[in-house]
Each structure stands twice: as structure tokens, then as C-alpha cells.
Amino acid sequence: MQWRNSPHRYGLLSILLHWGVALAVFGLFGLGLWMVGLDYYSSWYRTGPALHKSIGILLFFAMLLRVGWRLLSPPPAAPANHGALTRRGSALAHGLLYLGLFALMLSGYLISTADGRAIEVFGWFAVPATLSGLPNQEDVAGVVHRWLAWGLVGLAVLHALAALKHHFIDRDATLVRMLGQARD
């Protein structure tokens, strides 16, 4: 399999980034839901949020790579059976997924750095707190983060359902291209 996208299918790097980001998003969502219920005496009280923050920062770098790669290796064109409305809907959904992810990560950063402390990433490096001390920063960013997370996961589920609809009902190559199986 080639690394770059072709006119008919996604390349290996696009596929790995797509599924890796999806796994990270749903994993972080589950971890976030679980960790908000932890009490002070839980052994995961500090570990859960530290893990969530570290994976979130790595996801940010993966998304920067993903955007850069999308510019260097554009995605394949939509299948011929996709009408104008489907193409516009797809572009809108993808744009909202990208925008939503970056907004979600920014709100997480604002929560984590509200007290002026850097974010440690697995002890490998630290991301400095460049914006802190805003009025109610942690609380406002927390509300935004929660709503964005639910909205993003909902949109990702719709995205997956659309791919399954294209695969099982329309019987086109939309899904198999992201699995690396479409033929050039």
C-alpha cells in the first residue's frame, strides 16, 4: 500500500491518522466520562486527568500532522455516485469534525492551564501555560469542553453511520477506501 493518497483511495498515512484519531477521541471521551466521577481518595484521581491531558496533547500534534498531510496529499475525489448535496454535506461534516476537534483541544488546554501550570505530557515534555488567569477560565472552558465533547462524539457517530449507509445501502467505495481496499 502506498503512503500517499491516490485519486481513488486513501494512503496508509491518512488511514492510520484517521483511525488513530477516532480511537483517541472515543478513548478520551470514555476516560473523561469516567474520571469526572472519581473522588479524591481514588488512586486514579490524579492519574486519570494526567493521562487524559497527555493523550489530548498528543492528539493535538496528530491533528496538526493530519491537516498538513491533507494539504500535501489531498484526499481522493468523492465516488461518482455522490451528488452535489452529498458532497457538500460531507465537506461540511469533515470541516465541523476538524474545527470541533481543535476547539475541544483548545478548551481542554484552557481548563488545564487556568492555574498557570504547564501540562506535563507523560513526563516527556511540558506544554507551557501561555494563557491563564482569565475570569472563571477553568469553569467556562469546562462547560465548553463538555458540550464540545458530546457534540463531537455525536457528529462522529453520524459520520460512521453515513459511511455504513454508503457501504451497505449505496454499495459504493466510501468506506472501503478508508480501509485501504479500493483499487486504483
Query: Is 183 within the bounds of a domain?
Result: no
Query: Is 42 within the bounds of a domain?
Result: yes
Query: Is 78 within the bounds of a domain?
Result: yes
Query: Is 100 within the bounds of a domain?
Result: yes
Domain count, the chain: 1
Domain that holds residue 57: 12-178
Query: Is 24 within the bounds of a domain?
Result: yes
Residues 6+ apart with CB under 8 A from 126: 118, 119, 120
**CATH number, residue 36:** 1.20.950
Strands (E), the chain: 119-121, 125-127
Query: What pLDDT is stored for residue 184 in this prediction?
Result: 46
Least reliable range by pLDDT among 30-34, 51-55, 79-83, 157-161: 79-83
Query: Is 2 within the bounds of a domain?
Result: no
Q: What's the pLDDT tens digit per position in 37-74?
A: 999 999 999 999 999 999 999 999 999 999 999 999 99
